[in-house]
Amino acid sequence: MRILFVNPNSTASMTAKIEAAALSVANPATEIIAVNPEETPASIEGHYDEALAVPPMLELFQGGFAAGSDAGVVACFDDPGLYAVRSITDRPVLGVCEAAMLTASIVASRFSVVTTLVRAVPVIEELAHRYGMAGKCRRVRAANVPVLALETPGSGAQHRVQAEVERAVADDGAEAVLLGCVGMADLARTLTERVGVPVIDGVAAATRLAEALAGLGVRTSKVGGFGFPLAKAIVR
Amino acid sequence: MRILFVNPNSTASMTAKIEAAALSVANPATEIIAVNPEETPASIEGHYDEALAVPPMLELFQGGFAAGSDAGVVACFDDPGLYAVRSITDRPVLGVCEAAMLTASIVASRFSVVTTLVRAVPVIEELAHRYGMAGKCRRVRAANVPVLALETPGSGAQHRVQAEVERAVADDGAEAVLLGCVGMADLARTLTERVGVPVIDGVAAATRLAEALAGLGVRTSKVGGFGFPLAKAIVR
Amino acid sequence: MRILFVNPNSTASMTAKIEAAALSVANPATEIIAVNPEETPASIEGHYDEALAVPPMLELFQGGFAAGSDAGVVACFDDPGLYAVRSITDRPVLGVCEAAMLTASIVASRFSVVTTLVRAVPVIEELAHRYGMAGKCRRVRAANVPVLALETPGSGAQHRVQAEVERAVADDGAEAVLLGCVGMADLARTLTERVGVPVIDGVAAATRLAEALAGLGVRTSKVGGFGFPLAKAIVR
Amino acid sequence: MRILFVNPNSTASMTAKIEAAALSVANPATEIIAVNPEETPASIEGHYDEALAVPPMLELFQGGFAAGSDAGVVACFDDPGLYAVRSITDRPVLGVCEAAMLTASIVASRFSVVTTLVRAVPVIEELAHRYGMAGKCRRVRAANVPVLALETPGSGAQHRVQAEVERAVADDGAEAVLLGCVGMADLARTLTERVGVPVIDGVAAATRLAEALAGLGVRTSKVGGFGFPLAKAIVR
Amino acid sequence: MRILFVNPNSTASMTAKIEAAALSVANPATEIIAVNPEETPASIEGHYDEALAVPPMLELFQGGFAAGSDAGVVACFDDPGLYAVRSITDRPVLGVCEAAMLTASIVASRFSVVTTLVRAVPVIEELAHRYGMAGKCRRVRAANVPVLALETPGSGAQHRVQAEVERAVADDGAEAVLLGCVGMADLARTLTERVGVPVIDGVAAATRLAEALAGLGVRTSKVGGFGFPLAKAIVR
Amino acid sequence: MRILFVNPNSTASMTAKIEAAALSVANPATEIIAVNPEETPASIEGHYDEALAVPPMLELFQGGFAAGSDAGVVACFDDPGLYAVRSITDRPVLGVCEAAMLTASIVASRFSVVTTLVRAVPVIEELAHRYGMAGKCRRVRAANVPVLALETPGSGAQHRVQAEVERAVADDGAEAVLLGCVGMADLARTLTERVGVPVIDGVAAATRLAEALAGLGVRTSKVGGFGFPLAKAIVR
């Protein structure tokens, strides 16, 4: 089984982190492919970055599905273009925010999210609503770290994330905490041990859920919102 | 005052229809600019078409705001990329679905939407939720006409739309009906008279609301979800 | 175009403030009429005051629409009797809370409201729900100032309002703040500059939206909840 | 214990029906007082009728509470002015729609409402939301009978109501049906037997709930939305 | 009229407290029966305790209804097995959490709950949702006292409960406070006086509501979710 | 990896069907254990059957987890006692309704459920709400077949199920259909081919999701609603 992760931003170190996180939980028989476009923003911080990143990301998915990928994962916590990816394939496609939230909903009755910047808060709140998880999501918190600080040793970003995770447990009644940026994927294990509740990385969660759905043989429905793109006559 | 409409698809006849609908209700002192990109899908029918259309649309908005537009309108009923446009300017920006729904909420306690294809139904339902209008929206109906059939004389598209509008009034308890595609803009007036309830075209509604907000002097907030794009160091 | 504002309370200084706020944003060609009944409570602070104020307010609206007003605005942030006014006319009718919330929803993804007394908090929360804005409204805050203190120089009311607006931005993640009483209309401009997010006065917002809807030519639907009052045979 | 029912319309035959319905279920020790104002609309059909009826209704409640009533009931299914009545007393106050819905929620997992005119449908839907019962309310149906037809022998109104109740059971999956007008109070018993599910009259339900709350000794909270009206200095 | 309270835990001192609370508000003509199983957990603290307690509780209800009880009350604030009890009888059945919330919704626009342990918070939040009261429930708070500490003089439990009730009023804007454990039933009266808002005990509330519904003659609907258990052929 | 399925009813043929459905999709390395209690109802049709089935089911889970199961599945579409099972282990635990709904939410924007009896409809609707899927669930439909008819060749049950699945696709706009009883597990593949949309069996879905979560290494959170049962002193 082959699962294709597309990191929609152009920062290769994040793609490497995604691949590592996926491999750390994947079945040995699963092939993990993690790629990123070259011409997209270096990080996805807001709706504009999302919009620019989606078409190159879609191209990578199209190539990957044509080459036989069995499932796809949008590897950015804003899940940009997730529904568009679903439209171009009948293979199962997941977003990492979606995967993290669905997973959390199984192991905790209430959770919080710790993301990077304040501007991501309403984005993730809206995703929680879209995935039906608004009622279980206590709070989306921003650690006030730019995405790329997570790639920069000595930036202090990890300490800020950890502090915010601890506040989520202490103040929100969160029974689990979601790491709201793929750049935090490597922190999940340590933080889980430290805070005593599941700290969930969406990349790992999506890896396992993608394996699950691909193995289940379920296909993305093509009769409604995720129908294949229609051929267009050029009319001008 | 200058209002910029960007039709995200590449069909010039729809752009002309948008301009006409806007001019039919705009203040005489308002300058209406309606444009479309050349390289986008000929119609927006689903998430994939949306995704491809947004970056070229954003470029047209960036140029237009730089040239002094006082407000912007995303002129496609799926409101693709609306939040991204809001991020690149502090001028007020509206989507036509948003404008139609907010307007309907003022003149009717319950409304339905008549759109083109079944695949647009969950898209518009999700928009209703995003704009807070799910509780007032009785039903989103598809007339089963492709978008471009609305541009084709003799396609029978208008009869199908009218029949579906009539069903919305008779069966849903809709007190107003929204035309769920900008290609239907020219039908609003006739249908209003025929069915005896407000039949609302989002282009006209957005024209007036854009004038309203630009004249009010209110700016798009820049401290949260709609903050300006951040400059990116290229890190690979 | 003529827009009729009825302040449902009997305090003329507030009516003057309403007129000034409307004129400050209205199109030059728009005629603003602002009136208040004489026999209603001096301020609307709770459901009882609302109930008493509505019938005299309705009479003023009936006279105003008979005399040719093109749109109406209920000029109290509790929007008392809004649906009753909608029932007596096919002209568009807005409440100032409604106008402020719809406007905020276009320029901010999340907002808070600062009102006068604690007793108004559930009232405005319920309005947020009614208008579909509960999901975007972070919090309704009370500045603990009686309505008429806003009319009294030296009462310190403005400082309390400002402090609460600042807390809304700092603590709630509000991207915009709504002034929850028409007596605060004159504070919007100064506070917007001071706090760096849109601070929205509902009177000004309603002025522009009323112009928008009247110019759009859309009528209040008469087939459902806002149908004209039925003639009654007296049966006792 | 004394319970005061105020029928906000001026039709004495309906007041007599209210009194009979209340007496049919009240404890023998409970004194039932049912009154109506003389100057209000003959029936409450829409927001305008509601608005006019509320101040005279409030006066009757004020008198009644001053004279020692232990609880109050707004005896019209639109529950007009319910929150205003709650503001003028610390005695428990109920609306008949509220009482019917709370009662239904205890004996059925899903219910429908059968009311008189289409215009009442969104009114009752909004009440269902206000009372937290939207999730349990399958559908609000209109039997298309004017309120006063229920007072007119030979009008056929009862047959229409019965037919609509039967449709609610057959088509909506309603496990209980609420009679959405106090003029239907006398039909509850017969219809319950005929359709085999609880058919609930709000007057009877409110009678028992009012007895319950008065006997419980719980008072209407005065620290928030239902605080006593504030004394007003006249400021003009 | 006879009302049967089943305390699902096996602590007789709590059953005695339940009986006393019920008797303190019941009509003199009402017979109160309060029982508990012997083999269930000594307190209900979480889903596991609930699950074990329900079948023995059901047996007591079956016996009680066979012996002529007119209404039943599940006397634990988690309302365990409430829907199962409803299934075995057509008499009205209430939970104490349900009764407390419905009562609060009549006398306050917003309320909070003070319960024992953190683990009960999501349980009660879900009940608030089930009963339609999520929108009125400001917050469910835990006083961090084990249930049986409430039965232990000198445990300090009552002071903790009182402190949390005071915080609910001061910090949540709660207009009423619900005591989220039947072991707190004896505190309602004192706390009401102390904090100046209704402090509601669910046992007393359920007593009065059970009397109300039994006297109303309304039966639990048997056509849907609460249908009588079906006879089972043993098929293995 | 070992996954434990407990069928809460006592019908061994259903347990065999569960095992077969699980094995048909499980990883070859996964050990599937499917068991049922002997003393529970032969089928779970309503709240009463659920309540009786849960304690024996819990005992089987306790034994299974003690013996080293890595994940658990409640194998009845009502998901009875799911939260109680979560409380007794830190291994991931799923319900089949939950698994089916989460899976459907990934491959379809809207789905319907086809269950057995009308009485299950509100049960499943409430589960949809609990899992955050109410907004995606178009309708829960009953095929009007008793559970055990699915075990009886020649009962016609399968034709009724198929007819209802077809109606869900044709009338509801369902993009996927969930089989709302584990007794239908063997129909999923055939129906998927016949109706052209994913027809999802919860047993298979749960198998793959349980593998996913167990392999992910995520544990059920123990700090909140799913905390381990507390030891009880016996106090009587």
The closest of C219, C171, C205 to C74, measured between CA atoms, is C205
Over the stretch D147-185, which tens digit does the pLDDT of each residue have? Answer: 999 999 999 999 999 999 999 999 999 999 999 999 999
* E235 pLDDT above the threshold of 60: no
Question: What interhelical angle do F120-130 and E120-130 show, nearest 10?
Answer: 130
Cα(F220)–Cα(F231) distance, rounded to whole angstroms?
A: 19
- Name chain E contacts of D212, Cβ cutoff 8 Å: 208-209, 211-212
Question: What interhelical angle do C202-216 and C12-23 show, nearest 10?
Answer: 60
* The 3-state secondary structure of D159-172, one letter per residue: HHHHHHHHHHHHHH
Segments in chain C below pLDDT 50: 234-236
- Name chain B contacts of F135, Cβ cutoff 8 Å: 129
The closest of F23, F100, F82, F113 to F226, measured between CA atoms, is F82
Query: Any idea where the domains of chain F sit in the sequence?
Result: 2-95+204-216, 97-202
- Name chain C contacts of B107, Cβ cutoff 8 Å: 86, 92, 213, 218-221, 226
Mutate to test the interface with C, among B179, B216, B226, B228 (most CBs of C within 10 A): B216
Q: Is B156 on the interface with D (CB under 8 A)?
A: no
Position C222: which residue type?
Answer: K
Position C180: which residue type?
Answer: G
CB contact under 8 A, E102 and D105: yes
Q: Are A48 and B58 in contact (CB under 8 A)?
A: yes
* E168 pLDDT above the threshold of 90: yes
* B234 pLDDT above the threshold of 80: no
D and A touching (3 or more beta-carbon pairs closer than 8 Å): no
**Nearest residue on chain F to D108, alpha-carbon basis:** F122
pLDDT for residue F235: 44
Length of chain C: 236
- Name chain D contacts of E215, Cβ cutoff 8 Å: 25, 27, 208, 211
pLDDT for residue C31: 98
Mutate to test the interface with A, among C105, C107, C109, C169 (most CBs of A within 10 A): C109
The two three-digit tokens of residue B208, written as one number? 């007036």
Q: Are A166 and A174 in contact (CB under 8 A)?
A: no
CB contact under 8 A, F232 and E86: no
pLDDT for residue D83: 98
- Name chain B contacts of A234, Cβ cutoff 8 Å: 10, 42
C188-206: burial string, b at 16+ Cβ within 10 Å, e else? beebbeebebbbbbbbbbb
The mean pLDDT value for B24-53 works out to 97
Q: Is D110 on the interface with F (CB under 8 A)?
A: yes
Q: Output the CA angle D88-D94-D96, nearest 5 degrees.
A: 135
- Name chain B contacts of D129, Cβ cutoff 8 Å: 135
How far is CA A87 from each of CA A78, A127, A207, A208, rounded to the nearest angstrom?
18, 18, 20, 22
pLDDT confidence band for D232 (50 / 70 / 90): confident
The two three-digit tokens of residue E60, written as one number? 């007591």
Q: Is C8 on the interface with D (CB under 8 A)?
A: no
Tally B–C CB contacts below 8 A: 142
Tell me which residue in D216, D217, D221 faces E197 most closely, judged by beta carbons.
D221
pLDDT for residue F228: 98
Q: Is C132 on the interface with D (CB under 8 A)?
A: no
CB contact under 8 A, B122 and F110: yes
Q: Is B100 on the interface with C (CB under 8 A)?
A: no
* A138 pLDDT above the threshold of 70: yes
Question: What interhelical angle do A96-107 and F202-216 show, nearest 10?
Answer: 90
| CATH of F97-202 among 3.30.2350.10, 3.40.50.720, 3.40.50.10490, 3.40.50.12500 | 3.40.50.12500
At the topology level, CATH places domain B2-95+204-216 in Rossmann fold (3.40.50)
Cα(C134)–Cα(C151) distance, rounded to whole angstroms?
A: 30
The mean pLDDT value for E76-102 works out to 98
The mean pLDDT value for F177-184 works out to 97
SS3 content of chain A, % helix, strand, coil (to 5): 50, 15, 35
pLDDT for residue B236: 42
The mean pLDDT value for F192-198 works out to 97
Q: Is D121 on the interface with B (CB under 8 A)?
A: yes
Q: Is E110 on the interface with C (CB under 8 A)?
A: yes
User: Please, what's the largest Cα pairwise distance for chain D?
Assistant: 61
For chain D, the average pLDDT equals: 96
* D235 pLDDT above the threshold of 80: no
- Cross-sheet strand order for the sheet of D176-179: D137-142, D111-115, D176-179, D199-201
* F174 pLDDT above the threshold of 60: yes
Touching subunits for chain F (3+ Cβ pairs under 8 A): A, B, D, E
Q: Do the two domains D2-95+204-216 and D97-202 of this chain adopt the same fold? A: yes
Mutate to test the interface with B, among A6, A47, A54 (most CBs of B within 10 A): A47
φ and ψ at A86, to 5 degrees?
Answer: -60, -30
- Name chain C contacts of E135, Cβ cutoff 8 Å: 129
Distance from CA of B116 to the nearest CA of F (A): 15
pLDDT for residue C115: 98
Mutate to test the interface with F, among E7, E35, E36, E47 (most CBs of F within 10 A): E47
**Nearest residue on chain D to C53, alpha-carbon basis:** D55
Over the stretch B165-201, which tens digit does the pLDDT of each residue have? Answer: 999 999 999 999 999 999 999 999 999 999 999 999 9
**Nearest residue on chain C to D85, alpha-carbon basis:** C48
**Nearest residue on chain F to B141, alpha-carbon basis:** F173
pLDDT for residue A94: 98
- Name chain D contacts of C225, Cβ cutoff 8 Å: 46-47, 119, 121-123
- Name chain C contacts of B173, Cβ cutoff 8 Å: 224
Hey, which residues 160-219 in chain A have their CB within 8 Å of chain F?
A: 169, 173, 175-176, 196-198, 200, 204-205, 207-209, 211-213, 215-219
Over the stretch A81-132, which tens digit does the pLDDT of each residue have? Answer: 999 999 999 999 999 999 999 999 999 999 999 999 999 999 999 999 999 9
Q: Are B37 and B8 in contact (CB under 8 A)?
A: yes
Whether the model pTM is above 0.90: yes
Tell me which residue in E38, E148, E232 faces F43 most closely, judged by beta carbons.
E232
E strands in B86-136: 93-95, 111-115
Q: Is B152 on the interface with D (CB under 8 A)?
A: no
The mean pLDDT value for E167-175 works out to 97
CB contact under 8 A, E109 and C129: no
How far is CA F179 from each of CA A220, C220, F143, F149, F210, rounded to the nearest angstrom?
17, 45, 10, 15, 19
pLDDT confidence band for E232 (50 / 70 / 90): confident
* A172 pLDDT above the threshold of 70: yes
For chain A, the average pLDDT equals: 96
pLDDT confidence band for A232 (50 / 70 / 90): confident
For residue C233, the surrounding DSSP H or E stretch is none
Strand partners, A32: A3
- Cross-sheet strand order for the sheet of F93-95: F31-35, F2-6, F71-74, F93-95
pLDDT confidence band for B118 (50 / 70 / 90): very high
Distance from CA of B122 to the nearest CA of F (A): 7
Over the stretch F7-18, which tens digit does the pLDDT of each residue have? Answer: 999 999 999 999
Q: Is B83 on the interface with A (CB under 8 A)?
A: yes
CB contact under 8 A, F122 and D135: no
C and E touching (3 or more beta-carbon pairs closer than 8 Å): yes
Could you tell me what percent of chain E has a pLDDT over 90?
97
Strand partners, A35: A6
pLDDT for residue E233: 55
* F41 pLDDT above the threshold of 60: yes
CB contact under 8 A, E225 and D109: yes
Residue bearing the bigger pLDDT, E160 or D234:
E160
Q: Is E153 on the interface with F (CB under 8 A)?
A: no
**What one-character-per-residue DSSP string does D9-61 give?**
SS-HHHHHHHHHHHHHHS-TTPEEEEE--SSS-SS--SHHHHHHHHHHHHHHH
Distance from CA of C174 to the nearest CA of B (A): 8
pLDDT for residue C235: 44
Touching subunits for chain E (3+ Cβ pairs under 8 A): A, C, D, F
Distance from CA of E65 to the nearest CA of F (A): 15
The mean pLDDT value for A41-48 works out to 97
Other beta carbons within 10 Å of B153: 6
Tell me which residue in F38, F46, F84 faces E51 most closely, judged by beta carbons.
F84
Q: Is B122 on the interface with F (CB under 8 A)?
A: yes
